[in-house]
Amino acid sequence: MLDLDEVKHFVQKSFEQNAENKNVEHFERTVYWTKQLKPNADEVILIAAYAHDIARAFRGRTLKDILQNHEWNDPEILQEHQTKGAKIMTEFLTKKGFEKDKIERIANMILKHEFGGDEESNLIKDADSISYLEINVLQHIKKLVVVFNKNKIKRKTDWMFERISSENAKQIAKPSL
């Protein structure tokens, strides 16, 4: 039976081999915040939390190239990101013999983690936002402010906070701003 550790190995290896940014701390913190927001989260939710951004390992383009003519929250870019991530994880989990109903739940959470829409997807979106505000925003300021003006990074930060669904998650995220 597949477990979170096997998924972590797959995600980490994918980023090591393919991605421009190999740091997986964001995924660890997304799992942490998922557990804080829902202490009884099952392993399916934790797998989706860890693997939600797997598509970034297989972009084929740099973040600079993608964002040169797009905003961070461009619906087309985000939908492509979610769809590709759900497909990658569905293929991986299917090959590993994971249960179909659990694969469908994981794929659904990844497919909706940018916009939410149901309880589990909203949970992943909120944990992702908190982790972004805690970890990624500083990396973006340090590395990308020379590429994009600071207003573009501020718009990303504001959007990540504004998309949070639960009041509890907003209270947690506020000190990060």
> By the 8 A CB rule, do 51 and 86 touch?
no
pLDDT at residue 146, rounded to an integer: 62
The residue extents of the domains of the chain are 4-127
Residues of the chain with pLDDT under 70: 1, 19-22, 62-64, 66, 140, 142-148, 176-177
List, for residues 41-88, the tens digit of each pLDDT value. Answer: 999 999 999 999 999 898 877 666 767 777 778 888 899 999 999 999
C-alpha span between 35 and 57 (Å, rounded):
24
Average pLDDT of the chain is 89
Assigned token pair, 76: 């087309």
What local confidence, expressed as pLDDT, does residue 50 receive? 98
pTM: 0.91
